[in-house]
Amino acid sequence: MPIRVVLADDHIIVRQGIKTLLEREGILVVGEAADGKQALQWVRDHNPDVAVLDLSMPVLNGLDAAREILKASPRTHPILLTMYTEDHYVLEALRIGIRGYVIKNHSREELLQAITQVARGELYLSPGISKVVVQAYLSKTDPFDEPLSGRERQVLQLIAEGNTSKKIAALLCVSAKTVETHRTRLMDKLNIHTTAGLVRYAIRRGIIQA
């Protein structure tokens, strides 16, 4: 039986290229998504073996999509495909249960190897990932404090992308009042009191791209 994959990347050319590569190797792409929310829905519908997620996606980024995917379909193993090699991204990925971390500018064979290993329940990290951060994960130390809940991170991303409270409420299926409550809590937790400040924080933490 072929490995079944959901593929999420907001760049359609990249997504189509990866799909072609995977299908040539006998890997079945059961769903394609342009953002993390769509990827989560594909996973809920198809329960694939692997979800290959771009880290920087609109609406719901790869890290937060992976969090929700692991809750919705524990048998699905997420892989992050990204340009980012900074320690805090890798540590956060490992901490939430992501089994693969692949750097985009590496070879296509590496992605294939990652999918194969992760589908077997193994861990795959691109060569060059900091040994220090892996050791920190294994020793359960955490030099990168994450003060926000998953829902607060989602709201922060949508704010940083320029969405109004009304639109965020519609995307998250909550009331505009609830969104405003989340916004207030975000600002209090982070001690940031302007939208511009929230945007800068989101960029620093890789929640959105500059």
123 by Cβ neighbours in 10 Å (0-12 / 13-18 / 19+) ranks as middle
- Domains of the chain and any CATH numbers: 4-138 (3.40.50.2300), 150-204 (1.10.10.10)
Instruction: Look up residue 107 and give its two tokens.
Output: 């070879």
**Cβ(52)–Cβ(115) under 8 Å?**
yes
Greater model confidence, 206 or 59: 59
Taking residues 104-129, what's their average pLDDT? 89
Among the residue ranges 40-54, 62-76, 125-139, 180-194, the one predicted with the least confidence is 125-139
Q: How many helices (H) and strands (E) does the chain have?
A: 10, 6
**Cβ(6)–Cβ(42) under 8 Å?**
yes
Greater model confidence, 122 or 106: 122
Residue 175 DSSP SS3: coil
**Cβ(25)–Cβ(111) under 8 Å?**
no
Range 16-41 burial, b when 16+ CB lie within 10 A, else e: eebbeebeeeebebbbbbbbbbbbbe
Greater model confidence, 81 or 131: 81
pLDDT of residue 90: 83
Q: Token pair 């189509």 is at which residue?
A: 16
- In sequence order, which residues have a C-beta less than 8 Å from that of residue 138 and are 6 or more positions away? none
Taking residues 124-149, what's their average pLDDT? 69
Task: Name the average pLDDT for the chain.
Answer: 88
Taking residues 185-193, what's their average pLDDT? 89
Residue 167's pLDDT band (boundaries 50, 70, 90)? Answer: very high
